[in-house]
Amino acid sequence: MAVSKSNKKKHHQSYISVPSQIINSISQASLESLLHSPKKKQSPPSKITVLLKNPRFSIFLIFVLGFLYMLFKMPFSQNPCSISQEKAGFSTGFSSFRRNSIEKAAVFDEKSEFWVQPDGLGYRPCLDFSEKYRAESLEIVKDRTKYLLVVVSGGMNQQRNQIVDAVVIARILGASLVVPNLQVNVIWGDESEFSDIFDLDHFKKVLADDVRVVSSLPSTHLMTRPVEEKRTPLHASPEWIRSRYIRRIRRDGVLLLRGLDSRLSKDLPSDLQKLRCKVAFHALRFAPHISELGTKLTERMRSKGPYVALHLRMEKDVWVRTGCLPGLSPNYDEMINNERKSRPELLTSRSNMTYHQRKLAGLCPLNALEVARLLKALGAPKTTRIYWAGGVPLGGKEALTPLTSEFPNFYNKEDLALPGELEPFSKKASLMAAIDYIVSERSDVFMASHGGNMGHAIQGQRAYAGHKKTIIPNKRQMLSYFMDTSLPESEFNKIIVDLHRDSLGKPELRTSKNGRDVTKYPIPECMCNNTVARSSIEVK
């Protein structure tokens, strides 16, 4: 209630908020006619006239008009969760200050060349195991005398790799695989078990014709003291594994393996390569509660059109381990240098190289500015919607500013989740990583700023799913141009596009990548096209 004074009289005026669109759509004369209907001099007032004179009715009429206007003008979202999502607000993530930008993503971006997918050349998944492999399977799955125990370590994506290796080793030894034991992560303290992350029943069912998987040792073997091997050498071949372990496991019945991380050879016989693909792309499905939330977040990202997923490796430990510097400020660079000097064992990159040499060799993660420039050069529209996966970057939200200023539609799982949705996962780093994996793998375009287990796994899975666009930064060749400040932007963009013509996810044969994992390059062992004459059995 507002009060105004005029001479000795007081007039009480009521105010109501009306959308500006309504005010603009009604002329001044119309407003005056609504609020101050003129009196008719020659005829008695009608009921309508009396009603229009009533100020309460006038206010009510304006309110109704405003309501009708908003009702017919408001866009209806294709995502039934979007309205409640907006009410909840994106208040927990780095981009909460961009809450309303989710409504501004232009759907016409779908016509941009940036979203064009690579030509898959007709390649499709096909796992055609040999007759010999299928015949041996009958005996292997019936065996009840040999059991393989495996302890896997590291983050979720490292664990995935080791589980794939464990299945293949069990097959080589003709042993039953006890569901792998996930070692408590010393960094995040994650105590998740296999069934917390992966769908165990699905895992057993898919591999039923290849390896027998059991939840625990049978009573006949419980008192057996397993032979433990703590360190399998790098590039261990099937022949080495048989010569080293087959006699022991036959004698004792149980073999325990630790430290499998990337120890098994990447160059295996064809059937075992296919088995690796079968485990990675078919058997290792995330648990239902993870898949459900991952699907919801994917739908929320896609509700406004296509999106890019970025796996950003800008955490403090990444800068320390790679021997690289974040370039945020001299203080942050000094912090990383001091950490590396005090704990030299953390450095996993080549110690005989300077930071500058590592950078030019393409051994460093891209920072936010470099990611932004790369995306712009490759034609990403400013309205591009970006989902970013990864841990908290060194420097916090400010470290992402070069990216968010160029691409304001910038979200992570905390931004997209409704209140309480992430709570069951919040203290489980592996489960949070699995959610990131799902939303990233299903994106229209994916890019990792620094390879790594997750980047490689998603690259392979996207290839296996039909060669969805995956940007693989050509860091070794492009970074010198990033450092050339005299280079005009148009010339820089042309150079970057030329450097990445063959790095956007098109089919790439593993035969030219000796020693590379088939789960990253699934052609030709796990995918075939119509030009290849071969019988195939597609695994669903």
Please give the pLDDT value at position 39: 41
d(CA 511, CA 259): 28
Please give the pLDDT value at position 65: 64
Hey, what are 81's tokens? 């969760």
Q: Which amino acid is at 447?
A: M
Burial class (CB in 10 A: 0-12, 13-18, 19+), 51: middle
Please give the pLDDT value at position 45: 53
Please give the pLDDT value at position 347: 79
User: Over its length of 540 residues, how does the chain's per-residue pLDDT go in tens digits?
Assistant: 444 444 434 444 433 333 334 333 333 433 343 334 444 444 455 555 545 556 665 666 666 566 555 544 443 333 333 323 333 333 334 444 334 444 444 444 567 899 999 999 999 999 999 999 999 999 999 999 999 999 998 889 999 999 999 999 999 999 999 999 998 766 667 789 999 999 999 999 999 999 999 999 988 877 666 666 667 788 899 999 999 999 999 998 999 998 888 789 999 999 999 999 999 999 999 999 999 999 999 999 999 999 999 999 999 989 998 889 998 999 999 999 998 888 887 777 666 788 888 898 899 999 999 999 999 999 999 999 999 999 899 999 999 999 999 999 999 999 999 999 999 998 899 999 999 999 999 999 999 999 889 999 999 999 999 999 999 999 999 998 998 989 999 999 999 999 999 999 999 998 766 778 999 999 999 999 876 544 333 343
Bond preceding residue 269 cis, omega within 30 of 0: no
What CATH architecture is 131-283? 3-Layer(aba) Sandwich (3.40)
Please state the separation of Cα 354 from the chain's center in Å: 32
Residue extent(s) of CATH 3.40.50.11340 domains in the chain: 131-283
pTM > 0.85: no
Query: What phi, psi does 379 have (nearest 5°)?
Result: 95, 15
Please give the pLDDT value at position 67: 55
Please give the pLDDT value at position 470: 98
Query: 112: left (phi > 0), else alpha (psi -120 to 50), else beta?
Result: beta
Please give the pLDDT value at position 340: 86
- Look at residues 532, 483, 456, 521 and name the one whose alpha carbon lies nearest to residue 369: 483
